[in-house]
Amino acid sequence: MYYHVPALLEESVRGLNIRSDGIYVDVTFGGGGHSMEILKRLKRGKLIAFDQDEDAMRNVPDDKRLIFLNQNFRFLKNNLKFNGVDSIDGLIADLGVSFYQFDEPERGFTFRQDVPLDMRMNKKGPVTAASLIKTLDEASLAKVLYDFGELVNSRRIAREIVAARAVKPLTTVSDMINAIGKLAPPRQEHKFYARVFQALRIAVNHEIDYLREMLEQSLDLLKKDGRLVVITYHSLEDRVVKNFMRTGNFEGEEKKDFYGNLITPFRIINKKGTVPDEIEVEDNKRARSARLRIAEKI
């Protein structure tokens, strides 16, 4: 099954600095691209892979070195403990939505087709984009659009959504576009809708909150010299990862010792992050917004 072409595959797996007998975690298994590369480098080692999307289970290989868990990575620590693991040598996360999820119309992640407003990464989740739009008040909708879509006219967009839903429920992509289409800037409609849908998707799946939870747990689990490897696809999640790796907190608040040295739990391996080269972007257009960050626990 075509599922996902991983961005920065070689660079990210190399960033884990894999030991053949180490214990590694892939918290975003998806199509298994990163996991397969990690397994190639393991002998007596172990890989634990997470994915909340049950469709990802179809891609799991029969390999005794691999434990697959159909769970959200926010439950990282408890699930590892249940499987007898209390420390790890490395963790990799390839954030965002897989190609498969974007390309399956019924999942409702894309604004390019007139499909139901779903957007759940876990299909058993209780909240869809449609139910979120139906239940949030205008101020809360505006906050979602501003915080997660970085839309400066979020209040006006929220006002139009509330006005439209008073006439009829907004349950499909066309309903949403009809409600807010007049606010889309000329020749920038794609970017506008992408930000609106990104905001709704992040809210439906609690992506930023769960990312923070996972990162905090990864710090507790990583051994000394263990590697944290994260691929981000938009500025919001990248800022969270960058701040955490640099300072150990999500605000980027610097704390220094008596001598003025930055107190941090990590050593940054690639300070500016790594982005795909032109050849990779040409082969895989969806990789163009990817940024890889690597840190080593001190």
Annotate the chain with DSSP letters as a single string: ------TTHHHHHHHT---TT-EEEES--TTSHHHHHHHHT-SS-EEEEE-S-GGGGGG----TTEEEE-S-GGGHHHHHHHTT---EEEEEEE-S--HHHHH-GGG---SSS--BS---SSTT-S--HHHHHHHS-HHHHHHHHHHHH--TTHHHHHHHHHHHHHHS---BHHHHHHHHGGGSPTT-HHHHHHHHHHHHHHHHHTHHHHHHHHHHHHHHHEEEEEEEEEEE-SHHHHHHHHHHHHHSSSS----B-TTS-B--SEEESSTT-B---HHHHHH-GGGTT-EEEEEEE-
Q: Answer whether residue 137 shows pLDDT above 90.
A: yes
Q: Answer whether residue 3 shows pLDDT above 80.
A: no
Instruction: Identify the CATH homologous superfamily for domain 9-99+209-297.
Output: Vaccinia Virus protein VP39 (3.40.50.150)
For 105-205, CATH number out of 1.10.8.640, 2.40.30.170, 2.30.40.10, 1.10.150.170 equals 1.10.150.170
How much is the pLDDT for 146?
98
pLDDT digits (tens, 9 = 90+) for 197-219: 999 999 999 999 999 999 999 99
Q: Specify which residues 26 forms β-bridges with.
A: 49, 92
pTM passes above 0.85: yes
Of residues 110 and 43, the one with the higher pLDDT is 43
Q: Please provide the average confidence, as pLDDT, over all residues in the chain.
A: 94
pLDDT digits (tens, 9 = 90+) for 231-288: 999 999 999 999 999 999 999 999 999 999 999 999 999 999 999 999 999 998 889 9
pLDDT digits (tens, 9 = 90+) for 94-106: 997 766 666 676 7
Q: How large is the average pLDDT for residues 68-93? A: 98
Sorted by where each begins, the domain ranges of the chain are: 9-99+209-297, 105-205
